[in-house]
Amino acid sequence: MWSSADTLGNRSYIEDLRALVGTRQLITVGVGVVVLRGQEVLLELRRDSQQWGMLGGFKELSETLEDAARRELLEETGLTARTLRFLTLCSGPEYGYTYPNGDRIEQVAALYQAVEVEGDMRTDPAENLELRYFSVYELPSPMQPLSERLLARAFRVLDVERS
């Protein structure tokens, strides 16, 4: 999720921007996807930070936010959602993040819940090392800070009690 090197065959929009501006802070538009199985949430062990995070990534040019959510879910997990439920929009300085390579962002993120997922779950070697469901009451450590904030917001909207 939120990789600064998401690709669709060639360089991505974010990669093109980074080639021009380096690591300076950008306002980015992305999506987060919550997959629930009962009281468990699907998370990925991110390749870039070696931390657990929620699924998602940056929107590409000429792509809707919903299309971005479907693409990221498929790319990162091999799963498709029969339905996507829009949860909320997140913005502001609390959604800032610095990647391990120094790239800085302030994320504007649309959060979705993937409802009724199907397919054969598999990792994406370019993005993640592992996919696993965790109890919403016992999230893994270490969690990527941006993912942690976005997931907490999604849980509030979904009225998931974590205490």
Two tokens at 66?
């919903």
Q: What is the H or E stretch that residue 98 is in? A: strand 96-98
* 96-109 pLDDT, tens digit each: 999 999 999 999 99
* 46-103 pLDDT, tens digit each: 999 999 999 999 999 999 999 999 999 999 999 999 999 999 999 999 999 999 999 9
Two tokens at 106?
């302030």
Q: What is the H or E stretch that residue 116 is in? A: strand 104-118
Two tokens at 56?
């998602």
Q: Label residue 86 left, alpha or beta by phi (over 0 means left) and psi (-120 to 50 means alpha).
A: beta
Helix (H/G/I), strand (E/B), else coil: 85: strand
Name 98's bridge partners.
104
Residues 6 or more apart whose Cβ sits within 8 Å of residue 16? none
Task: Please count the CA atoms within 13 angstroms of the CA of 100 that sit on its side-chain side.
Answer: 9
Domains of the chain, earliest start first: 16-158 (3.90.79.10)
- The pTM score is 0.90
